[in-house]
Structure 1
Amino acid sequence: MQALLISLTLAAILAYLWYASLLKKRTSAIEALKVIDSKIDKRLTLFTELCQEREAYPHPLTDEQQAQLAFLKQLQPQHDWEQPIEESNVAGGSLSVSIAAWQQIDQGLESLLSTVNKDKLAAEKLAEYLQLELDFVHAEDFYRQAVEELNSGVKIFPGSAVAKFARIAPMPIFDQVQE
């Protein structure tokens, strides 16, 4: 009887530790998503400021570039997800939509920056923009690592049982999201 009680106690302790580990990994991924969200917002705002008309640079963007920038600004509201992570992290949920929008905005900004005449842009704002771009990449890498750890913890036993009981689901990685 004591062996059974000790076994059940050990199983409960291990399940709790696994739960705490999964919760910590999910929290890390959510924090990375918040950083990614703020960095993409700042990049879009700063790029818009960089490309405003000035006397020294009267027409910084062509009509095609302006249309592409306007399209990226329209995507911006799509990446906001207000729901709790449990509700938004389902197949096709708002988290997947947000990640797809972030990817599209990131790629669009990279494409636009490569076609703009950087010699006429304000050097300090351009340096700030490039730092934001680098910060975005680091946050994306951190998110990817946190999600890979979370997803592997959720898929293996006993994590699969603990995750199902605690309603912790695998999260999408940037590369897995369909654009």
Structure 2
Amino acid sequence: MQALLLSLTLATILAYLWYASLLKKRTSAIEALKVIDSKIDRRLTLFTELCRERQSYQHPLTAEQQAQLAHLKHIQPQHDWNQPIEESNVAGGSLSVSIAAWQQIDQGLESLLATVNKDKLCTEQLAEYLQLELDFVHAEDFYRKAVDELNSGVKIFPGSAVAKFAHIAPMPIFDQVQE
């Protein structure tokens, strides 16, 4: 009887520790998503400021570039996900839509920056923009690692049982779409 009670106690402790580990990994991934969201918003705003028309830099963007920037601004609201992670983290849920929108905005901003005449841009704002771009990449890498750990923990036993009981699902991976 004591052995059974001891085994149940140990199993409960192990399940709780696994649960706490999964929650920590999911929280880390969510925090990385919040950073990614803020960095992409700030990059889009800063790029718009960088390329606005001034006396010293009239017509900074071609019509095609302006159309591309307008398209990116149109996509921006699509990445907002206000649902709890359990509801948004389903196949095709708002988290997947948000990640796809972030990827599209990131790639669009990269291609726009490559075509803009950087000599006429404000050096300080350009440096801030480039730092935001680097921060975005670091947050993306952190998210990838956190999600890899979470998804591994959810897929193996006893994590799969604990995750099912606690309603913790694997999260989508943030992979850049290859052009």
Q: TM-score when scaled to structure 2?
A: 0.98
- Amino acid in structure 2 at the alignment position of 1:79: H
Dislocated runs of 4+, deviation >6 Å: 176-179
Q: CA deviation at 1:177?
A: 7.9
Q: Distance in 2 between matches of 1:139 and 1:176?
A: 13
What amino acid is the match of 2:23?
Answer: L
Which residue identity does 2:27 align to in structure 1?
Answer: T
Asked if structure 1 preserves the Cα contact closer than 8 Å seen for 2:103 and 2:176, the reply is: no
1:61 is aligned to 61
The one-letter code matched in structure 2 to 1:13 is I
Q: Does 1:140 align with 2:134?
A: no
Aligned-pair CA distance for 1:31: 0.3
Residue 73 (structure 1) aligned with residue 73 (structure 2): yes
Q: CA deviation at 1:121?
A: 0.2
Q: Deviations over 1:107-152 (max 9, x none)?
A: 0000000000000000000000000000000000000000000000
Match of 1:33 in 2: 33
By how many angstroms is 1:175 displaced?
A: 1.6
Residue 9 of structure 2 aligns to a residue in which SS? helix
Residue type at the aligned position of 1:127: A
Tell me which residue corresponds to 1:20.
Answer: 20
> Is the Cα contact below 8 Å between 1:154 and 1:160 reproduced in 2?
yes
The alignment-based identity, stated in percent, is: 89
User: Corresponding residue for 1:172?
Assistant: 172
Unaligned runs of 5+ in 1: none
User: Residue 157 of structure 1 corresponds to which residue in structure 2?
Assistant: 157
Aligned residues: 179
Is contact 2:43-2:129 (8 Å) kept?
A: yes
In the alignment, the residues of structure 1 paired with residue 132 and residue 58 of structure 2 have an alpha-carbon distance, to the nearest angstrom, of: 26
Q: CA deviation at 1:178?
A: 10
2:133 alignment partner, SS class: helix
- The Cα of 1:28 is off from its aligned counterpart by 0.3
- Distance (Å, rounded) in 1 between the aligned partners of 2:83 and 2:131: 30
Structure 2, unaligned stretches of length 5 or more?
none
For residues 168 and 178 of structure 2, what CA distance do their matches in structure 1 show? 22
Query: What is the one-letter code of the residue matched to 1:100?
Result: A
Judged with a 3 Å threshold, the aligned counterparts in structure 2 of structure 1 residues 119 and 113 are, in CA distance, closer, same or farther, namely same
SS class of match (1:174): coil
Asked whether the 8 Å contact 1:65–1:112 carries over to 2, the reply is yes
